[in-house]
Copies of this chain bind each other. A is one copy, B any other.
Amino acid sequence: MRNSWVKYDTYTDFPLENLPFGIFKTAMLSHRVGVALGEYVIDMQALAATGLMNDLAIDLAVFSQNYLNPLMALGKKATQKIRTFLQTAFAEGNDSLLPYKDSVLLLQSEVEMCLPVYIRDYTDFYSSEEHATNVGIMFRGKENALMPNWKHLPVGYHGRASSIVVSGVNLHRPKGQTRPDDNLPPVFGFSKQVDFELEMGFLIGKETNLGETVSTEHAEDYIFGMVLFNDWSARDIQKWEYVPLGPFLGKNFGSSISAWVVTMDALEPFRVAGPVQNPEVLPYLQYEGNKNYDIHLEVLIEPENASQTTQVSHSNHKYLYWNMAQQLAHHTINGCNLNVGDMMASGTISGPTPDSYGSMLEIAWKGTKPVQMANGTERKFILDGDTVIIKGFCEKEGLRIGFGEVKTKILPAL
């Protein structure tokens, strides 16, 4: 554990080992890059203005942008230099920044966090065996739960980038077409089955050209960092529309990401082995080393005006059957090109037990097992006024690296 002259709680998500990047603004300050440290945000534009970073030989203008994309595009060596600089400058005993403390350190509670990345293309995978199996059992029965392709390739599909919002932006319940009764025509109205999906996303920091592939061996060079992701879903809209070309309006009314992007460097101590893959995968999907991450995840629901939240799930990123390196190798095996700012999400991360399922669809098992809230009400899906909060953190030998949260309130349909 490193010690900093900035004081923070032992259980902070943001110790000196984490240093996640984000974009913030205030009434006085325009969009700029910030780095979380304890309950503070380091104003990187103000820090760059001190001149103390001039020796890093990187373009300091990246800190004065609306999005992290130019910073990510500098490459991992540059962001590692920035991390090392910050870990030195904020280390206990280093007083070089003290004269600038008031302009460089702001309280997180006094800034507004913005969408951190201009998300170019967004892909959602479907990489949790437990989730795919649960959904399969509900809709096709136990015998045909997993589709024949599922264990041979990381199933994925394209999502909508425009409607991805940052934590704190509330979303309206969507309207649309559903068919509640298969013997009657479809009807129009607001969705009655708004659901969260507990996911994590990773962000691409290095582009490829059309035609190029990325191997599992080199995939990590392309991954800048990770965020918490809530892939909001309107199950009734999705059910009626998705055959044969996949989810569309059931998903694209909004998706929420956390404000802080945690770098892969910060997550390095938390690598673990993934599930054994059987049958053996094709050579382009094989990999060496530990490519899963031990990231604790939890989902809480805070009903409107409730005095407390209710935890409805605790899961872990390590359960994922397909890892990020495999997802990236698969995504590019046909030559599809990557851009800085692409986001790829895991798909709902469900664990093996009902209390680790990653969506209300599974937790309340299609509405047959309503979930009790601490305030005495029950939930089959998300109600108007409910705030859904996803949190995530790694913890090991006294070191905690956290993601903060992604928090979204569902407002009534417009």
Q: A residues near B, CB below 8 A?
A: 120-121, 123, 126, 147-149, 152-153, 155-163, 165, 171-172, 174-177, 179, 185-188, 210-211, 213, 234, 237, 240-249, 252-254, 279, 282-284, 330-331, 333-339, 342, 414
A162 and B246 contact, Cβ closer than 8 Å, known pairs A149-B240, A177-B153, A185-B279 = no
13 A-B contact pairs sorted by A residue (CB < 8 Å): A121-B161, A126-B245, A152-B179, A155-B244, A157-B158, A158-B158, A161-B161, A162-B336, A177-B282, A211-B414, A234-B334, A246-B247, A253-B335
CB pair B245–A247 under 8 Å, yes or no, is yes
A334 and B158 contact, Cβ closer than 8 Å, known pairs A246-B247, A283-B188 = no
A247 CA / B242 CA spacing, docked (Å): 12
| Residues of chain B lying within 8 A (CB to CB) of residue A152 | 177, 179, 185-186
Mostly, the A contact residues are: loop
CB pair B336–A149 under 8 Å, yes or no, is no
| Residues of chain B lying within 8 A (CB to CB) of residue A162 | 120-121, 210, 336-339, 342
CB pair A244–B147 under 8 Å, yes or no, is yes
CB pair A249–B333 under 8 Å, yes or no, is yes
CB distance from A125 to the nearest CB of B (A): 9
A241 CA / B213 CA spacing, docked (Å): 18
Which of B234, B246, B254, B334 sits near A157, CB closer than 8 Å?
B246
CB pair B185–A241 under 8 Å, yes or no, is no
A249 and B147 contact, Cβ closer than 8 Å, known pairs A158-B159, A162-B337, A254-B210 = no
CB pair B248–A333 under 8 Å, yes or no, is no
User: Which residue on B lies nearest to A249, using beta carbons?
Assistant: B334
Which of B241, B335, B337 sits near A414, CB closer than 8 Å?
B335
A185 CA / B149 CA spacing, docked (Å): 10
| Residues of chain B lying within 8 A (CB to CB) of residue A331 | 249
A176 CA / B176 CA spacing, docked (Å): 36
CB pair A210–B342 under 8 Å, yes or no, is no
CB distance from A249 to the nearest CB of B (A): 5
A369 CA / B245 CA spacing, docked (Å): 26
Residue in A244, A282, A283 with the greatest tally of chain B CB atoms within 10 Å: A244
CB pair A149–B283 under 8 Å, yes or no, is no
3 closest A-B pairs by beta carbon, nearest first, are A246-B246, A174-B334, A157-B245
CB distance from A219 to the nearest CB of B (A): 16
A163 CA / B338 CA spacing, docked (Å): 9
A139 CA / B161 CA spacing, docked (Å): 31
CB distance from A230 to the nearest CB of B (A): 15
Which of B147, B187, B253, B336 sits near A243, CB closer than 8 Å?
B147
| Residues of chain B lying within 8 A (CB to CB) of residue A284 | 188
| Residues of chain B lying within 8 A (CB to CB) of residue A252 | 158, 334, 336
CB distance from A34 to the nearest CB of B (A): 24
A29 CA / B28 CA spacing, docked (Å): 41
CB distance from A187 to the nearest CB of B (A): 8
CB distance from A141 to the nearest CB of B (A): 14
| Residues of chain B lying within 8 A (CB to CB) of residue A247 | 157, 245-246
